[in-house]
Amino acid sequence: MKLGIHAYAWCSQWSNDTLDLIDRVKELGLDFIEIPLMVLDTFDAEAVKARLDAVGIPAVTSTVLLGDTDITSADPAIRQKGQDYLEACVRATAAIGGESFSGVIYSQHIRTLPNRPTEQYYEWSAERLRAAAELGADLGVKIGLEPVNRYETFLVNTCEQALRLKAMIDHDNVKVHLDTYHMNIEEKDFYAATKQAGDHLIHYHLCENDRGIPGTGQVDWDGIFRALAELDYDGYAALESFVDTTDNMNTWVWRQLAPDGDTLLREGATFIRAKQKEYGLA
């Protein structure tokens, strides 16, 4: 299992001013960095690729869809804009040598409905994600669907729902990305949900139930690592805990969850590395 960290542990938006975070990840002994693609205007793929190559670590990418890129919108022009954005993210990921792009990429992040979603929402999502998956397959970039909690999406809250949408997309290049913070709200069992993802699992966000330092809360880490060991998981897993709000995405960090990003990373990584060793995933 490859252990990394999401850049949001330190920064609110990626740009060339944050390229030094790649060096910091390497210095801290982690295997990769996860880079947000929320604002493609500040994403310089050439500069990122050069720094990754110089430092000697890979990157994965992630994002969320917003109102003007919602591929479940009733407006076909917005659905097309969302598809264009997803395809631009796939190209940006390929340009830095990344092999994984994931996140809340199936519907608008933070959108509510007056009723439960109809099949139409899933069909709209599947259609546009199929196009992104086809492009990803051509460029060597896998697409990961990340279930998040009911307060952040109406469409995909559980691993089971992610697998359902994956089946509707009907493309081998679509995978599943789990996140312990959201699983703590929506799943009945961490072990069972992880095993359910099976060989479709491509990425895992390792967060405590309050998004603080892993190992200090209520997440069933033993259940998770037992499942990962049984799956012989060798994919990506990133610490995704926040110590600040961001300018471009809601993180709802209204209190200090760790003294600073470095403390969160150091103590969280120490805990996760110990679990990796305990379960033979180091």
Residue pair 239/10 in contact (Cβ under 8 Å)? The answer is no
Q: Could you say which of 34, 146, 187, 208 is catalytic? A: 146
Read out DSSP for 212-224? Answer: SSTTSSS--HHHH
- Compute the half-sphere exposure of residue 101: CA atoms within 13 Å on the CB side of its CA: 33
Burial class (CB in 10 A: 0-12, 13-18, 19+), 51: buried
- Helix, strand, coil shares of the chain as percentages rounded to 5? 45, 15, 40
Residue 266 sits at φ, ψ, to 5 deg, of -60, -50
Secondary structure (3-state) at 204: strand
Note if 127 is an active site residue. no
What Rg do the C-alpha atoms of the chain give, in angstroms?
17
Note if 146 is an active site residue. yes
The packing angle between helices 159-169 and 119-139, to 10°, is 70
Residue pair 10/22 in contact (Cβ under 8 Å)? The answer is no
The packing angle between helices 45-55 and 76-95, to 10°, is 30
Q: Could you say which of 34, 152, 208, 240 is catalytic? A: 240
The tokens describing 74, both together, are: 């009733």
Active-site residue list: 146, 240
